[in-house]
Structure 1
Amino acid sequence: MSDRSKNRNLRTQIKRRRRAGSPMQAYDALPAELRLWLASACLPWSPASALRIWDKVGGARDPDTAYSRLNAIEQSMLQRDAQVWEVAR
């Protein structure tokens, strides 16, 4: 392994941020319906971003609408990622 590739992720100007609290506690605090969706999601979601979308769409009142919105966002992210990999070829 060359010296360059060994340190490539350590030489950033972006400041590190520590997470406040435990990620598992944040996940456990989510509504059961949202945790169920996250368990089958294709991408890794943070509990905070998933809950933000869930609340904005009104997932507590209408989980099906929230599922549709979360699926649409995830599909959009997957398509965007696929385009990045197509350009890289």
Structure 2
Amino acid sequence: MQTNRGATSLKSKQRTGNPMREFDRLPKELRLWLATAILPWRPASVRRAFARAMAQSNDPDLALDALNRLQAKLIEKDAKRVWGPDHPLASNDASRR
């Protein structure tokens, strides 16, 4: 079955609860990041990843940079599997942008 996520090899999970309520409960900086994210992140996933990054750096800007790097890494991984190693986003440089 075709979904609105398109072709991807990344795992998906069933939603539990109300995703809009979860989104509304995120801090402003995470809502802004999530609104411009390339991948279809769940609010709970973003909250966990941000908390891990904050535990390491204790700096919101560095934690957001860590989210960007994580997203780039996931895109690179998916691009290699879906479109092959010659896809522009599948290069090792994609995770450093």
Deviation of 1:19 after TM superposition, in Å, equals 3.8
Runs of 4+ in 1 over 4 A off after TM superposition: none
When structure 1 is superposed on structure 2, of 19-28 and 71-80 the one drifting more is: 19-28
CA distance in 2, matches of 1:27, 1:70: 16
Higher RCO (Cα < 8 Å, 6 or more apart): 2
The two structures have a TM-score, normalised by structure 1, of 0.69
Aligned residues: 71
CA-based RMSD = 2.1
Percentage of pairs with the same residue: 44
The counterpart of 1:24, out of the listed 20, 25, 30, is 20
Any idea what the Cα deviations from partners look like across 1:21-45, whole Å, max 9, x if unmatched? 2111001000000000111111110
What is the identity, as a one-letter code, of the residue corresponding to 2:33? W
1:20-70 deviations in whole A, cap 9, x for unaligned?
Answer: 3211100100000000011111111000110001112228x5211111110
- In structure 2, the partner of 1:74 is 71
In structure 2, runs of 5+ residues without a counterpart are: 2-12, 86-97
Q: Does 1:44 align with 2:40?
A: yes
- Match of 1:25, SS state, is helix
Task: Report which of the two structures shows the higher radius of gyration computed on alpha carbons.
Answer: 1
Equivalence for 2:52: 56
Partner of 1:10: none
TM superposition score normalised by structure 2: 0.64
AA partner of residue 62 (structure 1): D
